[in-house]
Amino acid sequence: MAEFGALIFPTDYAMQPVPLAKAIEERGLDSIFFPEHTHIPASRRTPYPAGGDLPKEYSHTYDPFVALAACAGATERIKLGTGICLVVERDVLTLAKEISSIDRISGGRFILGIGAGWNAEEMENHGIDYDTRWKVVREKILAMREIWTSDEAEFHGEFVDFDPVWSNPKPIQEGGPPVLMGATSKWSYDRIAEYCDGWLPIAGLEGDHIPEIKKAWKNRGRNDQPLLAMFGVPPDEAFITAKLEQGFSHMVFGLPPEGEAVVLPLLDQYARIAEKMRE
C-alpha cells in the first residue's frame, strides 16, 4: 500500500516539529521528513539551484536528528526521515551512532534520505572538497553499514579510515534503516544500486530515470526492487496516480515553513488525498 507523508524545513518560526508530527499522525499520514543545512555561508558564492535569492528557511533549520528524536518520543506510528541528510558534513562515527540511536528510540521507524549537497562553501567549512563529495558520501555510507552490522567494525578507504571499533546499540532495522538517495544525475544510477536501498527525488526532477536505476540495480546483482519515494509531491491526484503506477510507493507532500494556521489546513487536504488514493 502506498504511504503518504510531509516534508517541512523545521525552523524556529514555523509550526514546531513535535506538534507537527502529532498532527501528521492524527490525520492518518505515514511520515515526516526534515531537510538539513548546518549553516549557510554569508558569502553566497554558490548560487541557489532554484534561482533567485536563497529562501530564509535555509539558514534557520533545526538539526534534523534532534528534531526527529523529539518527534519520535511524541508519536507511535509515523516514519521519521531526513530529506535529505548532508552526509559529507557529518563525522561518520557520530552519524552512525545518531542513526542507530534514533532508529532504536523510535522503534525502527527511521528513514535515511541522503545527498551530497550543492553549496560548495558550506562543504568547505566542514573541510570537504566539492569535487570529491560523492566519493566521501559513498565511503561514509559503506562505513556506517559496517558499523551497523559488525560487532567489531573497521573501514579503510581514501576518505574514511578507522581500525576495529565497538559501536552499540545497533539499529532495530536489520542492516540499518533504508538509505534513499536524493539525486537525479546520470551518475546516480550506479551509486543508488551500489550502496543505497532506493531513490528519493524531488517531484518534477524524476524524469525517465527509473529504467536506468533498475538496470544498474540488476547489474549489481540485486534481486529485490529499489524503494521509490518522492518528496515535494503536489496535491494533484492525477500526478500521484501516475507516479504510483510507475512504482513510487512513498509520496511526501511539501509544507511551507509557516505556522499552524497555514500548515494544518494543508495537512487536512493531504490527508483527504491520501485516503482517496488508498481506496
Query: How far apart are alpha carbons 278 and 54 in whole angstroms?
Result: 36
Per-chain mean pLDDT for the chain: 97
pTM of the model: 0.97
- Per-residue pLDDT, 1: 84
Report the SS3 class of residue 94.
Answer: helix
Q: Which helix (H) or strand (E) holds 232?
A: strand 227-233
Alpha carbons 174 and 164: distance in angstroms, whole number? 21
Identify whether 111 is preceded by a cis peptide bond (ω within 30 of 0). Answer: no
Q: What is the pLDDT of residue 197?
A: 98
| DSSP designation for 160 | -
Tens-digit pLDDT profile for the chain (279 aa)?
Answer: 899 999 999 999 999 999 999 999 999 999 999 999 999 999 999 999 999 999 999 999 999 999 999 999 999 999 999 999 999 999 999 999 999 999 999 999 999 999 999 999 999 999 999 999 999 999 999 999 999 999 999 999 999 999 999 999 999 999 999 999 999 999 999 999 999 999 999 999 999 999 999 999 999 999 999 999 999 999 999 999 999 999 999 999 999 999 999 999 999 999 999 999 998
Q: Would strands 79-86 and 227-233 be described as parallel, antiparallel, or unpaired?
A: unpaired
φ, ψ of residue 89 to 5 degrees: the values are: -90, 5
Check residue 243 and give its pLDDT. 97
**Could you say which of 2.40.50.140, 3.20.20.30, 3.40.50.300, 3.30.1370.100 is the CATH number of the domain covering 3-278?**
3.20.20.30
Task: Give tens-digit pLDDT for 46-93.
Answer: 999 999 999 999 999 999 999 999 999 999 999 999 999 999 999 999
Name the residue ranges covered by the structural domains of the chain: 3-278
- For residue 107, the model assigns a pLDDT of 98
Helix (H, G, I), strand (E, B) or coil at 197: coil
Distance of alpha carbon 249 from alpha carbon 230, whole angstroms: 8
What's the pLDDT at 279?
81
